[in-house]
Amino acid sequence: MARKKIVLVLVEGPSDDTALGVILNRLFDKNKVHIEILHGDISADYSIDPNDIVSAIGDIVKKYAGSMHFSQIHFQQVIHIVDMDGAYVPESSVVENASVLKPLYSLTEIQTARPDQLILRNKHKQDKLNRISKLSKVWVSIPYRAYYMSSNLDHVLHGKINSTDEEKENDAYAFAKKYRDDIDGFLSFISDSDFSKIEDYKESWEFIKKDLHSLERYSNLGICFADIRKKRIEQQNNKEPKD
């Protein structure tokens, strides 16, 4: 029997894993694919220079591979899910509010006690996202694609922008429970909702970088599952009784 291929999924935090982990494991053929999820917000990590973001992602993959005695041939793909965090909004949408302890997001602005610092953060994140949105392979040969949640995962999955850590975890569990046995429902949600940008990968990234879209509720993650959804629909149609 052929060895399972690895689909390595990079997410930003534990609640992302909680919300999507079980669903991802049921989306892919468990007889052919093993899903591995790693946490880490490298798009916002100031210790990683934007010029080094591609090699940093490669290093993450190589480190995991080394720990498991894998090489490039054992990987099917790397899926990277990133939060936009309003990274592309104009500087005029970064508004000073000395009373907030951390950035406060809305559909039109980001309030912060340190606007200059947040503007620099956005520029740093833009430079990284510009690189990974055009990246097609990591570690020389492994297929790679980055998908976004705007302004973040909680916004897309739950319609909430400024969730507490407790709310994130509770909502993640509820989301996983809702869709773990309804994969077609999840595919419809992530692909057919008003926030879904799935027509074309390149165009979806061009869209999110414009105007205030990186604050608004959008995601192109449905593109990742287009082939899976198409196959499921074909299988269901073949099972339907003929007239």
Residue type, 143: P
Q: Which residue has the tokens 């604050």?
A: 215
Mean pLDDT of 78-95: 98
- Chain-centre distance of CA 68, in angstroms? 24
Tens-place pLDDT, residues 87-143:
999 999 999 999 999 999 999 999 999 999 999 999 999 999 999 999 999 999 999
135 vs 81, 107, 147, 182, CA distance in Å? 13, 28, 11, 32
59-68, 82-91, 99-108, 231-240: segment of lowest average pLDDT: 231-240
Task: Say what the pLDDT of residue 211 is.
Answer: 98
CB 20 within 8 Å of CB 11? yes
- 1 pLDDT above the threshold of 60: no
CA-CA-CA-CA dihedral for 233, 239, 241, 243, to nearest 10 = 50
Q: At what angle do helices 14-27 and 165-179 cross, to 10 degrees?
A: 10
β-pairing, 75-83 vs 218-219, is: unpaired
Place of tokens 């507490």: 164
The Cα–Cα gap between 69 and 79 comes to: 20
**One-letter identity of residue 141:** S
What digits encode the pLDDT tens for the residues 172-212? 999 999 999 999 999 999 999 999 999 999 999 999 999 99
* CB atoms inside a 10 Å sphere around CB 242: 3
CB 90 within 8 A of CB 104: no
